[in-house]
C-alpha cells in the first residue's frame, strides 16, 4: 500500500474495510527518512508541560509532511490535553496547521473542547527551537487503597452504582437508574450523588475515603467536560465543578478522589493482576482510554483516544461529535459495529437505538448457525475490529509504554470480545513479532471486573 508517497507493508487488512490506512504503521515508515527536527510542547493546568520530539521529511514530500504533522499534533493534543500548543521547526507546514486551530476553523471542535476544559483561550504558537517550553510533567498516585471503610461510586450516564467496602470486601452495593443527561438543574445530579454516598455510609461504622469513577475530563476533582452534566448551562459550571466535593462534605471530613473511568479501569487491572503498566480500552458508546504507568500512577493526561486519529483514509467515516475522520471513536465503539454491518450483509432497522443495533449484531453472532451468512458477516465485523486494534496498538506504543492491554466495554462482551482479542493477538504475532513479545492483550477476568 502506498499513501502520499510512503509505502507500507501490511499483510492483514480488515476484511470489511480494505481502505484502512493505519496511522502508526504509516508513521513508522515515514519517519525512517525524516531528518528535519520538530518540537511540540502541550501545556495544561498548573503549568504542566509535555514535550514531544519528531522529524519531518524533506520538502519534496509536501503532502506527506503536512498530513504527518497535522495528525501528529492532533494525537498529542488529545492524548495529553491542553490549552496551549507550541511548535518549533518546519515553519511552513506549521503555519498551515496553525490556521486550522481557531474558532470556526477546521479544528473548531478541538479548540472549543479545550477552552471549556481549561476555561481560558486556546493558544497555538510557533517558536524558535531555543524558545520551546521545557518539560514539566509529573505522574500522580490515585487510589489503589483497599484498607478501612471506603465508598466506591460510579457516575454513569444511565445509572449510578455505589459500593460500601470494608478492608477490600464489598459489604453493600446498589445500582440506581437515573437520567442526569436530561436535567438542566444541577440539584438533580447533586442529590443523586449525595443519596448514594449516604446509603453506602449507612452500611459501615465510618467512612475513611470516597473514590469516584466517571466519564469525561477532570481537573482535580472538578468535571470540566462530562456527559452527565450535558444540559447544565456553562454559566452555572462552578456548581458542577464542586458537586463531588460538596457531596463528600455532607458525609463528614472525608477525603475524596474523582478520576476518569478509563484510568480507574487501568488501575483496577493493575491492582487485580499485580502488574504494570496497564492501558485500558473500553469499547462502548465511544472509545474510552485509561493508563497507569510502571509505578501504577496516572500521567495526568487526557487519554481521550476517542478523538485521537488512528486511520489516515480521508474518506473514512466522520465522527458524529467531532466531525473528524479516522478517529478512534468510529473504530472501537458501537458506532464501528453499526458502520461495518452493511458491509457484512447485515441490515439494521434505522429506528433502533445504537445500543439495540449492537445487541442485534451480537445476537446474530452468538445465536445463529456458524454456517449462516449473517453469522459469518457478524464474525467479520469483530475480526475487523481486532485487526484495527492490532495496527492501532502500534500507534499507541509510540506515545505510551505498553505492556498490558485490557479490552472492556459492551462491544467486547461475549463471543465478540473473544474474537477481537484473538484476532488482535494473531495479527500482532504475524506482523509485529518483537512488539507482540512485550504485549499482553486480554479481556478482564471476573476478579478484575469486580475490582
Whether 3 maps to a domain, the answer reads: no
pLDDT digits (tens, 9 = 90+) for 164-208: 999 989 999 999 999 998 999 999 999 999 999 999 999 999 999
Whether 438 maps to a domain, the answer reads: yes
**Can you tell me whether residue 387 is helix, strand or coil?**
helix
Contacts of 130 (CB under 8 A, 6+ apart): none
Instruction: Tell me what pLDDT residue 361 has.
Output: 96
CA distance 112 to 107: 9
Average pLDDT taken over every residue of the chain: 93
8 A C-beta contact, residue 217 and residue 260: yes
Interstrand relation of 404-408 and 287-292 (parallel, antiparallel or unpaired) = unpaired
Which residue among 70, 96, 131 closes a domain? 131
Instruction: Tell me what pLDDT residue 266 has.
Output: 86
Q: Residue 362: pLDDT above 90?
A: yes
Instruction: Tell me what pLDDT residue 262 has.
Output: 81
Whether 157 maps to a domain, the answer reads: yes
8 A C-beta contact, residue 390 and residue 436: no
Confidence of residue 139 (pLDDT cuts 50, 70, 90): confident
- Residues 177 and 240 placed together within one structural domain of the fold: yes
Instruction: Tell me what pLDDT residue 214 has.
Output: 87
Closest by CA position to 224, among listed 209, 245, 206, 238: 238
**Can you tell me whether residue 9 is helix, strand or coil?**
coil
The three three-digit cell numbers of residue 176, written as one number? 440506581
- Residues 337 and 438 placed together within one structural domain of the fold: yes
- Residues 334 and 392 placed together within one structural domain of the fold: yes
Confidence of residue 447 (pLDDT cuts 50, 70, 90): low
- Residues 427 and 306 placed together within one structural domain of the fold: yes
Total count of domains within the chain: 3
Which residue among 193, 225, 254 closes a domain? 254
Whether 142 maps to a domain, the answer reads: no
Q: Please give the backbone phi and psi of residue 231, each rounded to the nearest 5 degrees, phi first.
A: -90, -5
Question: pTM score, two decimals?
Answer: 0.90
What range defines the domain where residue 408 resides?
Answer: 266-450
Q: Residue 48: pLDDT above 80?
A: yes
Mean pLDDT of 209-237: 91
Instruction: Tell me what pLDDT residue 63 has.
Output: 97
Whether 14 maps to a domain, the answer reads: no
Instruction: Tell me what pLDDT residue 143 has.
Output: 64
Whether 347 maps to a domain, the answer reads: yes
Mean pLDDT of 42-55: 97
Whether 28 maps to a domain, the answer reads: no
- Residues 217 and 124 placed together within one structural domain of the fold: no
Q: Residue 47: pLDDT above 90?
A: yes
Mean pLDDT of 121-138: 96
CATH number at residue 163: 3.30.420.40
Residue 326: left (phi > 0), alpha (psi -120 to 50), or beta?
left
Q: Please give the backbone phi and psi of residue 183, each rounded to the nearest 5 degrees, phi first.
A: -90, 130
Residue 309: beta bridge partners? Answer: 327
Write out the H or E segment, with its range, that includes residue 446: helix 446-450
Which residue among 254, 285, 313 closes a domain? 254
CA distance 8 to 25: 7
- Residues 102 and 199 placed together within one structural domain of the fold: no
**Can you tell me whether residue 336 is helix, strand or coil?**
helix
The three three-digit cell numbers of residue 378, written as one number? 457478524
Which residue in this structure is represented by grid cell 520538530?
38
Q: Residue 61: pLDDT above 70?
A: yes
Q: Residue 134: pLDDT above 90?
A: yes
CA distance 128 to 41: 12
Q: Residue 295: pLDDT above 80?
A: yes
- Residues 298 and 333 placed together within one structural domain of the fold: yes
Which residue in this structure is represented by grid cell 496516572?
298
Whether cis (ω within 30° of 0) applies to the bond prior to 277 is yes
- Residues 195 and 297 placed together within one structural domain of the fold: no
- Residues 203 and 103 placed together within one structural domain of the fold: no
Closest by CA position to 286, among listed 330, 320, 232: 330
Q: Residue 141: pLDDT above 80?
A: no
- Residues 191 and 55 placed together within one structural domain of the fold: no
- Residues 68 and 165 placed together within one structural domain of the fold: no
Q: What is the DSSP letter of 15?
A: T
Confidence of residue 259 (pLDDT cuts 50, 70, 90): confident
What are the residue ranges of helices labelled H in 230-333? 237-241, 243-251, 261-273
CA distance 58 to 54: 13
Contacts of 116 (CB under 8 A, 6+ apart): 224, 225, 234
Closest by CA position to 115, among listed 233, 221, 234: 234
Whether 22 maps to a domain, the answer reads: no
Q: State the maximum Cα–Cα separation within the chain, in Å, rounded to a whole number.
A: 71
**Can you tell me whether residue 252 is helix, strand or coil?**
coil
Confidence of residue 448 (pLDDT cuts 50, 70, 90): low
**Can you tell me whether residue 201 is helix, strand or coil?**
helix
Q: Residue 450: pLDDT above 60?
A: no
Q: Residue 298: pLDDT above 70?
A: yes
Q: Please give the backbone phi and psi of residue 151, each rounded to the nearest 5 degrees, phi first.
A: -110, 130
- Residues 94 and 169 placed together within one structural domain of the fold: no
Amino acid at each position: 500500500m502506498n499513501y502520499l508517497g510512503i509505502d507500507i507493508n501490511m499483510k492483514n487488512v480488515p476484511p470489511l474495510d480494505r481502505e484502512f490506512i493505519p496511522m502508526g504503521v504509516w508513521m513508522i515508515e515515514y519517519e525512517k527518512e525524516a531528518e528535519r527536527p520538530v518540537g511540540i510542547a502541550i501545556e495544561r493546568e498548573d503549568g504542566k508541560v509535555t514535550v514531544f520530539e519528531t522529524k519531518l521529511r524533506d520538502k519534496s514530500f509536501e503532502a506527506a509532511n503536512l498530513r504527518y504533522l497535522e495528525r501528529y499534533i492532533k494525537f498529542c493534543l488529545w492524548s495529553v490535553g491542553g490549552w496551549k500548543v507550541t511548535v518549533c521547526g518546519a515553519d511552513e507546514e506549521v503555519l498551515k496547521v496553525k490556521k486550522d486551530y481557531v474558532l470556526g476553523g477546521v479544528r473548531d471542535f478541538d479548540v472549543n473542547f479545550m477552552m471549556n476544559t481549561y476555561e481560558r483561550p486556546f493558544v497555538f504558537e510557533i517558536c524558535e527551537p531555543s524558545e520551546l517550553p521545557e518539560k514539566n510533567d509529573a505522574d500522580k498516585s490515585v487510589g489503589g487503597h483497599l484498607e478501612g471503610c471506603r465508598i466506591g461510586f460510579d457516575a454513569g450516564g444511565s445509572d449510578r452504582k455505589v459500593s460500601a467496602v470494608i478492608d477490600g470486601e464489598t459489604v453493600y452495593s446498589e445500582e440506581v437508574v437515573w437520567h442526569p443527561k436530561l436535567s438542566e438543574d444541577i440539584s438533580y445530579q447533586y442529590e443523586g450523588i449525595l443519596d448514594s454516598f449516604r446509603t453506602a455510609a449507612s452500611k459501615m461504622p465510618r467512612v475513611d475515603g470516597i473514590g469516584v469513577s466517571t466519564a469525561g475530563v477532570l481537573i482535580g476533582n472538578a468535571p470540566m467536560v462530562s456527559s452527565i452534566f450535558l444540559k447544565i448551562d456553562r454559566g452555572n459550571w462552578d456548581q458542577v465543578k464542586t458537586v463531588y466535593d460538596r457531596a463528600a462534605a455532607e458525609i463528614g471530613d472525608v477525603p475524596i478522589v474523582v478520576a476518569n473511568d478509563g484510568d480507574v479501569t487501568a488501575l483496577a487491572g493493575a491492582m487485580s493482576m499485580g502488574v504494570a503498566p496497564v492501558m485500558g480500552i473500553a469499547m462502548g458508546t465511544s472509545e474510552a482510554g485509561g493508563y497507569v504507568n510502571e509505578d501504577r500512577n496516572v500521567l495526568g493526561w487526557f487519554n481521550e483516544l476517542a478523538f485521537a486519529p488512528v486511520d489516515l483514509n480521508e474518506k473514512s467515516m466522520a465522527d458524529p461529535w467531532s466531525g473528524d475522520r479516522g478517529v478512534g471513536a468510529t473504530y472501537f465503539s458501537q458506532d464501528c459495529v453499526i458502520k461495518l454491518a452493511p458491509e457484512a450483509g447485515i441490515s439494521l432497522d434505522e429506528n433502533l437505538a445504537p445500543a439495540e443495533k449492537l445487541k442485534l449484531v451480537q445476537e446474530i453472532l452468538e445465536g445463529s448457525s456458524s454456517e449462516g451468512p449473517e453469522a459469518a458477516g457478524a464474525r467479520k465485523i469483530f475480526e475487523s475490529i481486532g485487526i484495527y486494534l492490532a495496527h492501532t496498538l502500534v500507534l499507541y506504543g509510540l506515545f505510551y509504554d505498553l505492556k498490558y492491554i485490557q479490552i472492556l466495554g459492551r462491544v467486547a462482551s461475549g463471543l465478540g470480545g473473544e474474537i477481537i482479542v484473538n484476532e488482535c493477538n494473531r495479527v500482532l504475532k504475524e506482523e509485529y513479532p518483537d512488539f507482540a513479545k512485550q504485549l499482553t492483550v486480554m479481556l478482564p477476568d471476573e476478579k478484575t471486573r469486580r475490582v
